[in-house]
Amino acid sequence: MYRKEYWKNLKEQLIECLRWIVAGIFVGATTGGLIYIFQLFLFLGIDTISPALSHLWGVILLPPVGLFLSGLVISKTSSRIRHGLVRVFVAVHREKGIMGILSIPVEILAYTATVAFGGSGGREGPAIMVSAAWASNLGRLPVLRGLSSRYIVIAGVAASFSALFNAPIAGAVFAAELFFLNDIEYRAIALSGFASISAHLVYIHLLPNALYFSVPLNIRNYNLPSKNIVVYILLGILSGVVSSFWTRFFRTVQLSFRRWKRALYLKTALAGGILSILYAVNHIFIGKDLHIWGLGYETINTLFENPCEIATLVIIFLLVGKMVATALTVGSGAAGGLVLPTFFIGAAVGALFGQLPLGIPPEIASVAGALSFFASSTNTPLAMTIFSAEAAGTSLILPTMVASLVGHIISRNDSIFTDAKLFSRQKI
């Protein structure tokens, strides 16, 4: 009798395991394809409009127009629960993973208007929103019935991070840390893991030349002495302090725009007008090669590869300017993510730290600074430690882990996504 029960239970466990594997692969593969379509729209907008940003008149005229269009699209279509990452947290924590399919085209159109016209926002926030909505609707299919819709949505989020950053392991852990701060659910990581791997494989097949961080090869082969652990602690302290300021500054700007009782598209247009002034200063005094508008991949890669060739005052301007530009863009209500701008700010923090005579290569300080600053700003130290290995090899694991943990302790669970987490638990 006991033996029959054992084999029966084992059979059920194997069937359930197979269902989870198939579900993760299905969600991840289709999400990878969706992110590819998202990127095509984004690249089309950037290739068509963004070349004008290389001219002074472009950085003055385009941002107000783009942010106005983004605010207009959102204000005419969004629900009372708002758009973006807030909507995803609401779905996961309050609505059993249920999201509408119409969120996808709205977010794609609004975000393309933001970034193509020079708004300072990352693609990851809108991509997470799009992937979560897609995964939520996949969860209603008969083949996925019986699985937790919340886990499926989280798997979609992991798949989007994996595809965009070429980091399948970090993607799964990032999604779990993002949604379950103090009580990580490992079954969610299991589903997210298969989704991340399949999304990564599909995405790099469809778009092999996608935008990734360019980590210098000399970093991958560098042997860091463990005696520098004190230096990594100092880097973590700096990352934690600056990330705390960044979080509070962004939240202050966001609340100021919310309290201003005007139409959303008027708020975003005003933010775009202020951005024009800031971008003009950037264009006139620093040039177009190092800039704070748009995605900012080129500037991040320069901070990673050649931080010693950038003047200290220029790095300070990039750090402060990116904070202001992102707070105005996303805080005003325009579509845009905070992930990539936070990496940008962190790279500038690390580049400044690397100019101190502390015995570590500036390139390593810049990359480790970007990762530890992001970990401090989002409470994802484990995901960033894994990401460091996937992006730059094992040489960065020690400095990233030490600096991320120290920064996380200083930030005290405060996060740039805290508003989304709190809103998802409040009564509407």
Task: Profile the chain (428 residues) by mean pLDDT over runs of 10 residues.
Answer: 75 84 91 92 88 92 95 76 66 73 85 92 85 88 77 90 89 84 72 92 85 66 74 94 94 92 93 96 92 91 89 96 96 90 95 89 90 91 89 81 91 72 43
Alpha-carbon distance 384 to 13, whole Å?
32
Give yes or no for a contact between 345 and 319, defined as CB atoms under 8 angstroms apart.
yes
Q: Which sign, positive or negative, has the C-alpha torsion 39, 296, 70, 327?
A: positive
Question: Token pair for residue 327?
Answer: 């707070």
Query: What tokens were used for 239?
Result: 């990352």
The pLDDT of residue 83 is: 55
**Model pTM score:** 0.91
User: How high is the pLDDT of residue 369?
Assistant: 93
Q: Is 168 exposed, middle or buried (0-12, 13-18, 19+ CB in 10 A)?
A: buried
**Cβ atoms of residues 125 and 326 within 8 Å:** no
For 313-350, write each residue's pLDDT tens digit.
999 999 999 999 999 999 999 988 898 999 999 999 99
Q: Please count the other Cβ atoms lying within 10 Å of the Cβ belonging to residue 174.
A: 28
Q: Residue 428: its pLDDT value, please?
A: 32
What per-residue confidence (pLDDT) applies to 266?
A: 95
| Cβ–Cβ under 8 Å, residues 97 and 312 | no
List the domains of the chain with CATH numbers: 2-206 (1.10.3080.10), 217-423 (1.10.3080.10)
Those residues with Cβ within 8 angstroms of residue 310's Cβ, 6 or more apart along the chain or in another chain: 290, 302, 303, 351
> What pLDDT is recorded for position 18?
87
Find the angle CA(172)-CA(14)-CA(7) to the nearest 5 degrees: 150
Query: Do residues 104 and 134 lie in contact, with contact meaning Cβ atoms separated by under 8 Å?
Result: yes
Give me the count of residues in the chain: 428
Give the whole-angstrom CA distance, residue 384 versus residue 368: 10
